[in-house]
A and B are shown apart, each in its own frame.
Chain A
C-alpha cells in the first residue's frame, strides 16, 4: 500500500546525505532507537545519553523529536535519536510515519541512520519481533536490545540469545533499564558495530528489494517469528498469575475499577485546583513585585508601560499556570509509566464511545479543565486522526481555570447568597451549572463533529494493556520537564508578541486634550492638598485618566464598534471593551472592567472595589443598572463558550497543523458564545427575569 513512493524517497534521502557529508567533510555518526511502545525504549535512551537531550519537533508534524549524544569507548561522540514508539513500519499514525521516514531515509534533513537499535521487551518477545525483524529487513546495521532482562529472569522466562542471533542474523544484547553493567556492555557493542565496514552484507529474512522484504504479509512474518520464539524462548510452566493480574482484578473490576478511577481523578483534580494554588499565588506575587520594582526603576513613559502593562502582564498570565501544568504532566507521565493509563482508557472507552470519541480522549479533556494547552498536547496519544481532531476541537470548550475568576467575580457580585434547604447555595449551583454547561456542550459538539465532517475511523481502536511496573521517577520527571518546557516556549513566545500588540491597542492613540486636563488637575491637587487627601485625590485622577485612556484607545473604539452586535445580549460598549481586551486571555476581562468602571482598590484588593463598581454601574441610555443578574449570567455563559485565549490559538495551529481548523474553532465557539448569551438574556427577559 505504502510501497509506491519509497524508492524515490530513499534516493532523495541518500542524495541529501551525500551532500551533507561532502559539505562537512566528516560527519558524526547517528544511532536511532526503535521499538514498540512500553518496551522501556526511553529509559535505554536516557541511560545511553545520561539524561542530557534536547526535544523538538519533526518538521511539519506534531511528533516529538528527542535527540542526545553519547561518547564511545574511543572518545568519539555519536548522536542518538529516540524515535517514537511504533508497532509496524507500515505507518498508521503520525508517530509511525516519522519512524518510517527516518528509517527509509525519507525524513527531511536526516540521512539514513548509521545504526539502528531495536528495543524489545523480553516478556513480550513475540509481538516485539514483528517490528524488530521488519527493521532488520531494511538491511541497515542493526542491534536487538532485549530489555527488562532481569524481570523476565525473575518470572522464569529464559531466552537463548545465541540461538536468537543465529536465527535472525542480528547482534542481540540484554539490558535492564538503567542498570550500569548492561549499559556498559551495550555501549561496547555499539562501538564495535559502528567500526564495521558498511560493505559487510546485512542479513535479511526475505528475498526481494527493501520494501518487498519489509512489507511481507503479517501472516508470513508471524510464521517465521513463531519458529524463532519456539526455538529460543523457554517459559516456566503455566501462565504467571502475578501482581499485575491481581491489580487488574481490582482496577478493571466493574465496581472497584470505576470507583478507583473516580478516586484517582478526584485526587488529580484536587491537587490541580488546590495544591497548585500555593505556588501559583507565589508566582503571581513575584511577578507583581517585579512590576512594582520596574515601575520604580524605569522612568514614567511608554517604555515602562510597555514592559509592565504589556510584556510582564502578558507573559505573567502564562507563567502563572505553570504549576498546574507541571502537576498535570507529572500525573500523565506517572500514569503512563506505571501502566495505569491503559487501564483508565480501558475503563472509560465505553463512555467516550457514546459521543464518538474513544477512551484516550478522556485525559486530554480532563486536562483541559486546568488549561487547554496541555489538554491539546495530550491528544498526541490518540492515533486515529478523526478521534484526535474531534478531541482537539472541543478541548477549548472545557471550562479552564482562567474562566474561574470570571465566574467567581460575577457570582459574588450578582447572584444572591441564598440557600435552598439550608445548605445548597445558589452561588454554588450557578458555578456548577457553568461547569455542566461546558461539559455537556463539549461532549455534544464532539458527537456532532464525529457524525458530520469527522465521520468514521481509519483504524480499529485497539491498545495494549502492559504489565504494571514501578515507575521510574527520573523518567517521569524528565518527561514532565520536557513537556512543561515545550508549553513555556510555545505559549510564552507567541504570548510575548501578542501582549505587545494588545498593549498597543489599549494604550494608543493617546488623547492629548484629556492628558493635558488630567495633568493640570494633578498640578492643582499638588498645590492645594497635602497628606492623605492628596494621595486619595491623585489616585482618583489616575483612575479617571486610565478609564478615559482605554475608552479613547483602539480597543475602546473596537468595543464601541461591536456594541450593536452585543446589544441584543444586554452588553454595552463597556463590556465590549472588556471582550476585546480579553481576546488574549479570559482573566483580562476582570482587570479591564476594573479600569473601565473606575474601580477603587480597597483593603482586600481589587475584587471588593470592583464588585462595588459593577453593582453601581449605570447604563447611560436607560439610566438603570448596567449589570443585572441576568446580564451577569449571560456574560458568564458567554465566557463558558468564547474562545478568548491566544495560547489556545497557537496550540490549535501547531497541533492541527492548519489555520483552517484554528479559525473554525474560534468561529464555532464565538457563535456558541453569542447564541448562548442571547438565549439567556432574551429568554430570561421573556420569562420576566431581570
Chain B
C-alpha cells in the first residue's frame, strides 16, 4: 500500500529513510528548507532525535541537518518499505506506542 507510506517527516522514526514528496500548504518559510536541499525527490534518513525528543537529525545530500518536529510536520515523505537498519533507535520518545496510535504499518 504505497499511500500508507506517505507520512509527514515528524512521524518518521530514527533509522527510517524515505524520499521527499512535497510540502503541506507551502509557505515562504519553506524556501530555506528547499535551499538546504530538501526539495522534491531528495533522499533522506532520520538519524536520531535529540535527548528530549525534539529536534530530529536528518541525513540528506551527504550532510546532517537538525530540524524541529514542528517544521518537519510540513514535509511529506514517501517512506521506504524497509528501514535501513544499522541505526540505534533509542532517543525517540514513545516510538512504538505512537506508531500504534496512528496505525501506521511498517
Contact = CB atoms under 8 A, between A and B. Distances in A.
Interface of A: 1, 87-88, 90, 92, 123-127, 130, 217-219, 222, 239, 241, 248-249, 252-255, 257-258, 342, 345-347, 349-351, 353, 457-466
B54 A353 contact: yes
Contacts of A342: 66
B12 interface: no
Interface of B: 28-37, 39-40, 42, 48, 50-55, 57, 59, 61-68, 71, 86, 88, 90-91
18 contacts: A87-B32, A87-B36, A90-B31, A124-B62, A124-B63, A126-B62, A127-B63, A239-B59, A252-B48, A253-B90, A258-B51, A350-B55, A353-B54, A460-B33, A460-B71, A461-B55, A462-B66, A465-B57
Given A253-B51, A346-B55, A465-B57, A90 B35 contact: yes
Given A90-B31, A252-B48, A462-B71, A127 B54 contact: no
Nearest to A463: B66
Contacts of A463: 65-66
Given A87-B36, A460-B67, A462-B32, 6 more contacts: A126-B62, A252-B51, A252-B57, A252-B91, A461-B67, A466-B63
Contacts of A218: 31, 34-35, 39
A462 B33 contact: yes
Given A249-B88, A460-B67, A92 B32 contact: yes
A257 B52 CA distance: 10
Contact of A350 (B28, B50, B90): B50
Given A88-B35, A222-B39, A462-B66, A346 B29 contact: no
A465 B32 contact: no
Given A252-B57, A346-B66, A465-B65, A126 B37 contact: yes
Contacts of A350: 50-55
B32 A461 contact: no
A241 B88 CA distance: 13
B61 to A, nearest CB: 4
A219 B88 contact: no
Given A130-B35, A464-B64, A349 B88 contact: no
Max chain B Cβ within 10 angstroms of own Cβ: one of A124, A461, A462, A466: A462
A219 B71 contact: no
Nearest to B93: A254
B65 A257 contact: no
A350 B70 CA distance: 11
A249 B51 CA distance: 11
Contacts of B42: 222
A122 B90 CA distance: 31
Nearest to A1: B28
Max chain A Cβ within 10 angstroms of own Cβ: one of B28, B31, B54, B55: B55
A463 B55 CA distance: 10
A21 to B, nearest CB: 35
Contact of B50 (A90, A130, A222, A347): A347
Contacts of A458: 29
B61 A127 contact: yes
B52 A464 contact: no
Nearest to A235: B62
B76 to A, nearest CB: 15
A92 B36 CA distance: 12
Nearest first, the 4 A-B pairs at minimum CB distance are A350-B52, A460-B71, A218-B34, A254-B51
A349 B51 CA distance: 10
A124 B59 CA distance: 12
Max chain B Cβ within 10 angstroms of own Cβ: one of A217, A350, A464: A350
Max chain A Cβ within 10 angstroms of own Cβ: one of B50, B54, B68, B90: B50
Contacts of A123: 62
A125 B91 CA distance: 30
A125 B51 contact: no
Nearest to B50: A346
Contacts of B86: 241
Nearest to B84: A239
Max chain B Cβ within 10 angstroms of own Cβ: one of A217, A239, A254, A349: A254
A254 B55 contact: no
Contacts of A345: 66
A349 B53 CA distance: 10
A86 to B, nearest CB: 10
Contacts of B63: 124, 126-127, 464, 466
Contacts of A217: 34
A127 B36 contact: yes
Nearest to B52: A350
A254 B71 CA distance: 22
A132 to B, nearest CB: 13
